[in-house]
C-alpha cells in the first residue's frame, strides 16, 4: 500500500475518533464553514475539540483570521498528523516545527500495521485474560479505567452515553484482566472497513506484566479477523516502544 495512502488513513482515523467522541446525546457537534467543533452540552462533562480544519483555498488574511478564531477557544486542536504546507505555519504557536527526533521519543507519531506484515504473536500468559465488551456494565468498567489512566479521571468517554457507539459495532472494546482484576483496556474504531487502534491503557500497578501487549494483540487479531487490510494508530509515550515490537511502523 502506498505510504501516502497509509498516511491519509492515519489522519482519517484521528478525525473519525473525534467524530465518535461527539456522537453521543450529551455532546454537540457544530460544523462551522471551515472546521468542526465538538463540546459537551450544558451541565455535562466531556471533551472539547476543534478539528477538520480547512484553509487551503482561503485568502491569506481570511486564513489568518480563522486560525486566530480557532486558537481563541483555548481548547484542544487536532491539526492532523500530517498538516499541509498551508496549515503547517499555524500549528502550535506558529513556530517552525523542528526536525523529527530519533525514535522512540515523546512526540506523537502516525503508525500502521498492514495485514501482510503481521507476524506471529506470543501466547498470552496464563495470568492474563481478555474479554470483548458486550454489555453496558463491561463498557462502564472499560470507560472508567480508560478515563482514569489516559485522562486523569476526566470523562472523555461517558460510561453510559457512549455505549451506543459500542452497540453499533463502530467501537469495539476489550477489557484485560490480570489474575481476575481489571488491569487494562484497548479498542478499535471501524471507519468504513479501515480500523484504528484506540484507548490502549494499563493501570500503573499492572505495568510490565504483559497486559498492554495482550490488549493490543486482542484488538489487532479482531480487526484482521474482520477482513481489515490496515490498522492505524496515533502513538505517543510508552506505546511507541511497544507497538514496533508487534509489527507497527511509523509513517
pLDDT of residue 237: 84
Q: How does strand 109-114 pair with strand 230-235?
A: antiparallel
Q: Which residue has the cell 480563522?
A: 66
* Between residues 85 and 203, the one the model is more confident about: 203
The whole-angstrom separation of Cα 105 and Cα 73 is: 29
Q: Is the pLDDT of residue 28 over 70?
A: yes
Please give the share of the chain, as a percent, with pLDDT higher than 90: 85
pLDDT of residue 251: 95
CA distances from 18 to 6, 26, 68, 91, 208 (A): 19, 14, 21, 18, 30
Average pLDDT over residues 220-233: 96
Please give the share of the chain, as a percent, with pLDDT higher than 70: 96
181-185 long-range Cβ contacts below 8 angstroms, 24+ apart: 181/206, 182/141, 182/145, 183/128, 183/209, 183/211, 184/145, 184/211, 184/212, 184/214, 184/215, 185/142, 185/145, 185/146, 185/215
Amino acid at each position: 500500500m502506498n505510504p501516502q495512502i497509509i498516511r491519509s488513513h492515519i489522519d482519517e482515523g484521528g478525525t473519525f475518533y473525534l467524530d465518535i467522541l461527539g456522537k453521543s446525546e450529551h455532546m454537540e457537534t457544530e460544523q462551522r464553514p471551515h472546521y468542526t467543533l465538538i463540546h459537551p452540552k450544558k451541565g455535562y462533562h466531556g471533551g472539547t475539540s476543534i478539528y477538520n480544519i480547512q484553509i487551503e483555498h482561503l485568502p491569506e488574511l481570511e486564513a489568518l483570521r480563522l486560525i486566530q478564531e480557532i486558537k481563541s477557544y483555548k481548547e484542544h486542536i487536532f491539526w492532523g498528523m500530517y498538516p499541509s504546507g498551508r496549515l503547517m505555519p499555524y500549528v502550535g504557536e506558529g513556530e517552525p516545527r523542528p526536525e523529527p527526533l530519533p525514535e522512540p521519543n515523546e512526540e506523537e507519531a502516525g503508525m500502521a500495521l498492514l495485514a501482510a506484515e503481521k507476524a506471529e504473536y506470543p501466547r498470552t500468559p496464563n495470568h492474563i485474560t481478555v474479554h470483548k465488551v458486550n454489555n453496558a456494565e463491561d463498557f462502564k468498567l472499560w470507560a472508567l479505567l480508560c478515563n482514569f489512566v489516559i485522562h486523569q479521571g476526566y470523562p472523555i468517554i461517558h460510561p453510559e452515553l457512549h455505549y451506543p457507539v459500542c452497540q453499533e459495532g463502530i467501537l469495539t472494546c476489550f477489557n484485560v484482566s490480570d489474575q481476575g482484576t481489571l488491569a487494562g483496556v484497548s479498542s478499535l474504531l471501524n471507519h468504513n472497513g479501515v480500523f484504528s487502534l484506540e484507548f490502549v491503557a494499563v493501570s500503573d500497578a499492572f505495568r510490565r506484566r504483559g497486559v498492554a501487549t495482550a490488549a493490543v494483540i486482542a484488538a489487532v487479531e479482531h480487526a484482521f479477523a474482520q477482513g481489515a487490510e490496515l490498522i492505524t494508530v496515533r502513538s505517543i509515550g510508552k506505546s511507541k516502544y511497544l507497538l514496533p515490537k508487534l509489527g507497527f511502523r511509523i509513517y
